[in-house]
Structure 1
Amino acid sequence: MKLLIILPVIACIFYAFSEPEYIYETISTNSTEDVDNTEESPSTGIIDNVIAELENTNSSKTEATMSDQTSATDVNNNPTHRNELPKLKRLENNLRVQQSGEKTIEGKVVQENGDPLPGTSVVIVNTTTGSVTDKNGRFKIEDVANNAEVAFSFVGFKTVKKQPEFNKEMVVLLKRDTVQKDLSISIRSNGKTTPENNPIIFLDGKKVPFETLSEISPESIEAIEVLKDKSATEKYGDEGKNGVILITSKEKKIQANDKTTQNKTNQAPTYNGDPIFFIVEEMPQFPGGDLALHNYIANNLKYPDEAKEKSVEGRVYVNYIIAPSGKVDNVRVVRGVDPMLDAEAKRIIEGMPEWKPGKQRGKSVAVSFTSPVDFKL
């Protein structure tokens, strides 16, 4: 009887150490049915083949590991395999957007002042296809779809999206993306706030009520001059005892400049007896192009120390003539900011190397140019 008791124990031991056989039922799905219901293209067929091959590979891996429960679980939980199909679907959508009738777009990106904008990023939206403008602001992209959308972006400028224009050269204008400040003019009071103690205001030579000061936009002001004490009373008598504020608007200055120009230029301007051109068949070119010109100004700019201390900044416009020999001549400031900045801007332009002269009908001629010089702290 003792020996018979051993038989059940042996049976339990064999059962505990036996290797079970697991049978799994697999269901294969055609993932490509959810991807595309439209007409197949060569790129779509390639993606379908890759997806089918991937599914067959995963299926064979699963069947090879059915005998081991742990291995089967690892395959099903592998994030690499689980994410491959969505990646391929996104790749297929990307290829569809890039499919085209082998059309090409090309053009130029410019700023508001007409200067080219080199280094602008030009990208087909929702794809990785794109280009960067060259030193002349030009770009070219091949194989663009009819329904594509092109995005143009540059740091400091507003991004522009446009439909491609295949039959003509595209000209894209990028505007600066700046934060406008809400400015207003205010006068500090010495404690006397009665109307009798207010200074008198002159706008473009005309006396205006003191309350008008709050309605004047600072952006429309060209210059402000303040007279007080003796200098005010000598010119305006007792009326100026509380001070005088003389305001000159930009519009007034422009009108004055236009009248002066009209009086001085009843005939066409000349340079050494020859006419001065503004636009010619072959425009003058700075050595190295427009980008080299910008680099020259930036590298040679010396901000006046006194202007730094007074926090004076702005944009100075300098006019000059590129002579038929390429020499820079007749340099003058047409719109200044401060005498210190104006002098520095003029110095930079006068020190420029000789240009490649402009030509009209094959002959070198004098061409008038105006360049802005920015001073920013």
Structure 2
Amino acid sequence: MKKLITKSNRLVEKGRMIGIGLLSLALLLSTSLQPATAAMNNGKLSVASGSKADIVVKGKITDDKNGAGLAGVSVKIKGTTAGTSTDNAGNYSLTAPDNSTLVITYIGYATQEVAVNSRATINISLVSSTTDLEEVVVVGYGTVKKKDLTGSVSSISSERLMDKPAFNVGQALQGKVSGVQVIQAGGGVPGGNPIMRIRGSNSINSSNDPLFVVDGVVGVQNALSSLNPEDISTMEVLKDASATAIYGARGANGVVMITTKRGISGKTVVDYNGYAERGDMNRHVYTFTAYRLMYVYTQAGANAEKF
């Protein structure tokens, strides 16, 4: 009788283990073959599943300043190639795991990563990204990165422009740009306007002066002498065909694009640079008056040999 009871208990134990195995297999199939574990605690079955439930995530992507919906924004699930884009109103909808992360990218805006956290509705405001001005050159048709620039353009920063004392922009620019010649008119007469030539003179009858564009204002006269060198932020000299891309024949002698300094947010900073200029005549050449000129002319004629 005792042997029968022992044998019966073994059969019950085997049947229980088979039942646990079948239940674990069913759980694995129902969770799309995701990792799952089963254990017996005091005769009870406990199951832990590592499955990721997929949910439908909807929302709207807007601009943080005006709240307008952004069309064509890329919304992707991080670590995968799955994703979607927003419609004309900025709305999007996609299926994603409840513990995934959405990566939102759009041209001109900072990239954002947002955790789903089992949320069905996620509205996102994108912040416009600040343009990186490092190694950026202004050309006739906009701005490009210096490494992507194919035209002949020379860029000068305010630090390089004012690395030595100068009374005007012409003096500050001398010898700092290849292919550009700056001459002080009148042989250095105080107050004279500098003359600028880009890659030599192109015409005999017409003007050879380049076109000056200051803060978008085209055709500024005497910019080399009228502007304060300390007020200049950047200066670009366009020396080839890119100069005529926007300005046409006016840029045939080259274009000088000047951007002046402007106020920025933050702590107030005051800079002062003072220069003094004095012009002295080394040698004075005295000239005749009209009466003395006629007297000398008459005396010369009287004393000359007669033929």
| Fold conserved between structures, TM > 0.5 | no
Question: Could you state the TM-score of these two structures normalised by the residue count of structure 2?
Answer: 0.32
Structure with a larger share of its residues in helix? 1
Structure with a larger share of its residues in strand? 2
